[in-house]
Structure 1
Amino acid sequence: MYTREETIRRMNALGRAEQPFFFVISHDLEHNLLVEPAGAGEGRTAAFALPLGKMELKGEAPALPERIRFTPSPCSMSRYAEAFSSVRKHLLRGDSYLLNLCVATPVETNLALGHLFRFARARYRMLLGPDARVPGVHGRGCVCFSPEPFVTVRGRTVSTFPMKGTAPGATPEARQWLETDEKENRESATIVDLMRNDLSMVAAGVRVKRYRYISPVETRGGAILQCSSEISGTLPEDWRSRLGEMMMKLLPAGSVTGAPKEATCRAIAEAEDMERGFYTGVFGFFNGRELDSAVTIRFMEEAGEGMVYKSGGGITVMSRMEEEYREAIAKVYVPFDL
């Protein structure tokens, strides 16, 4: 486990040496893992799957149970309303313009971490066993099947893809609502502006290449629509030797915190009754030349006899509490057929 400063130094050194490694950075940036494929995680149970590289679980793939159980027990609307009221005070006062509020949902299931890692349909997947201890994980394992890339680097082109905006269902009506709703449009505009400014700290010629493109995401209850944007710039020639500095300048990810970051993170800590841990951090792979990373959302961790699923959504002064509650609960799913 590495602190923020240790992570910067180690990532810089590995980048300079063009040495491949996987990484997981926690939401608070202070509890991080760097896993070199040759070392197999130094005894830790870890697995990753990203477009640039994979590290598989050891042993045979577990068979799915014949009858799968996946029963969420969402927090009450009244409990969510308390947290919503807390963040709304900050929004009305102008401390924040957009804030990502998250909740923890207990899930009773007979699915194991290995099932979720191996069978989830997602481009970005991660599993950490119980030997990867960090606040918010409590010495238990966790798994992530993320639909949201964070930063990719190809050559010297760095790109980020903030995801902001969700519509239940994948109908023409849902698409039209997502494209035209004022609150969803403002969320996208705020987060794109934030991420464009963030990327400008490490890259030149930053521009928005695609604004508010909509993609379907499969869930256990059918497809939903999610809205993303693509922002790109050009890194300096020596970016690999400054890889750790670059990542820490861009974190925590704006799409899962809000704007402005510092004040918004304080409001989040005041409102949420959970430690985020690895949830809403990032994980990724550097192959020695290029980089893939993803935001650690769609996240479950072990908790007693079941699991806890962490989810959330963006809140603005235009948000309606009941709608935001339903969105946070709708995101409690696993992306394969149940």
Structure 2
Amino acid sequence: MNKKEKIRKLLNKNGSESEPFFFMISYDLTKYEIIKLNQLPKDINFELSDDKSIFSSKKIGIEKFPLDFKSYKIAFDKIQKNIKEGNSYLLNLTIKTKIDIKLSLDEIYKYAKSKFKLKYKDEFVCFSPEKFVDIENNKIFTYPMKGTIDANIEDAQKKILANKKEMAEHTMVVDLLRNDLSIVSSKVRVEKFRYCEKISAGKKDLLQVSSKIKGELNSDWKSKIGDILTSLLPAGSITGTPKIKTVEILKDVEKYDRDYYTGIAGIFDGENLYSFVLIRFIEKIQNELYYKSGGGITCDSDAILEYKEALDKIYIPT
């Protein structure tokens, strides 16, 4: 039995028992944690909140040692070649950046303010702004997030919503996730298209563009949680479209293992399911810290701007 099938069966079994549990699945579905909430070890911590008012007065500085632009451009050009050849239309290129922060992972988890937070042992900490799927009252929701702009730019919201490149990129992700939801649910529709949310990005605020998509599930969905999640993974917003070919291209181009980065985590509380994408991610590797970040690439993307965006996403939200 391969890992994906094992994950599917374990999730189905836990869901059918209607007992609350935590789950975490890596980007490539080769690693996972599925643990009943009453048995969750003390070295796995998480928070899920829709409170948009959370903030901290503590500012955390990060020293970055990024991949040089020349190396990034090589990967970017390979992606553009694949786009021109028709192999993909949107690819989420990510990089791994060595960083220096005068804090432990425990301290980063404590001070970071985000809708979704997770600290996994002494291996990584994540403070994600992006939901994956929610399931409530036999309905499934997903919230693709694609498009970022500095909130302090004059008319920032108007500018990003009018940007043709950002519109095309976001539309492709919405189409992808709408199709994904159609695999596991019925009556799929986009309830809200391209709305902006402000998030703290360390020394500045960002506007991020999201949409809301809804589908309807059968009443027996709890016993099929594994079927649902494994059918939707990896998340479309952090891969691209078409998904299978895009995953192959990214594996060749990125030259490192994403591991749990861009995977998902969440909880089933016995009645409903809530999950988020593992982005805004700091990992400890051989006692050094690395921040994994990236952004979507289309035929209209500019290498310098995309490189800058990937580095701008290296921050602790406070």
Q: Secondary structure at the match of 1:249?
A: helix
Listed as ranges, the matches of 1:117-266 within 5 Å are 117-130=109-122, 141-266=123-248
Point out where structure 2 has 5 or more consecutive residues left out of the alignment: 51-55
Decide whether aligned partners of structure 1 residues 33 and 76 sit closer, same or farther in structure 2, where only a CA change above 3 A counts.
same
1: CA distance between counterparts of 2:231 and 2:286?
36
- 1:35-83 alpha-carbon deviations (Å, 9 max, x no partner): 2122223xx721111149xxxxxxxxxxx9x995521111111010011
CA RMSD of aligned residues (A): 1.7
Decide whether aligned partners of structure 1 residues 291 and 51 sit closer, same or farther in structure 2, where only a CA change above 3 A counts.
farther
Point out where structure 1 has 5 or more consecutive residues left out of the alignment: 53-63, 131-140
Q: Does 1:283 align with 2:265?
A: yes
Tell me if the contact between 1:170 and 1:216 (Cα under 8 Å) persists in the aligned partners.
no
2: CA distance between counterparts of 1:274 and 1:176?
36
2: CA distance between counterparts of 1:257 and 1:288?
30
1: CA distance between counterparts of 2:167 and 2:279?
21
Tell me if the contact between 2:132 and 2:142 (Cα under 8 Å) persists in the aligned partners.
yes
What is residue 106 of structure 1 aligned with on the other side? 98
- 1:142-194 alpha-carbon deviations (Å, 9 max, x no partner): 01000000100111111000000011234443222211111100001100000
Tell me if the contact between 1:159 and 1:232 (Cα under 8 Å) persists in the aligned partners.
yes
What is residue 46 of structure 1 aligned with on the other side? 44
1: CA distance between counterparts of 2:239 and 2:263?
10
Tell me if the contact between 1:211 and 1:230 (Cα under 8 Å) persists in the aligned partners.
yes
1: CA distance between counterparts of 2:159 and 2:37?
44
Tell me if the contact between 2:21 and 2:37 (Cα under 8 Å) persists in the aligned partners.
yes
Tell me if the contact between 1:108 and 1:305 (Cα under 8 Å) persists in the aligned partners.
no
Tell me if the contact between 2:180 and 2:232 (Cα under 8 Å) persists in the aligned partners.
yes
Tell me if the contact between 2:138 and 2:217 (Cα under 8 Å) persists in the aligned partners.
yes
Using structure 2 for the length normalisation, give the TM-score. Answer: 0.94
What is residue 93 of structure 1 aligned with on the other side? 85
What is residue 64 of structure 2 aligned with on the other side? 72
Identity of aligned residues (%): 37
Tell me if the contact between 1:4 and 1:31 (Cα under 8 Å) persists in the aligned partners.
no
Work out the number of aligned pairs and report it. 311
2: CA distance between counterparts of 1:296 and 1:67?
22
What is residue 32 of structure 2 aligned with on the other side? 32
Tell me if the contact between 2:266 and 2:273 (Cα under 8 Å) persists in the aligned partners.
yes
1: CA distance between counterparts of 2:178 and 2:267?
23
One-letter amino acid of the structure 2 residue matched with residue 45 of structure 1: D
Tell me if the contact between 1:203 and 1:233 (Cα under 8 Å) persists in the aligned partners.
yes
Tell me if the contact between 2:188 and 2:215 (Cα under 8 Å) persists in the aligned partners.
yes
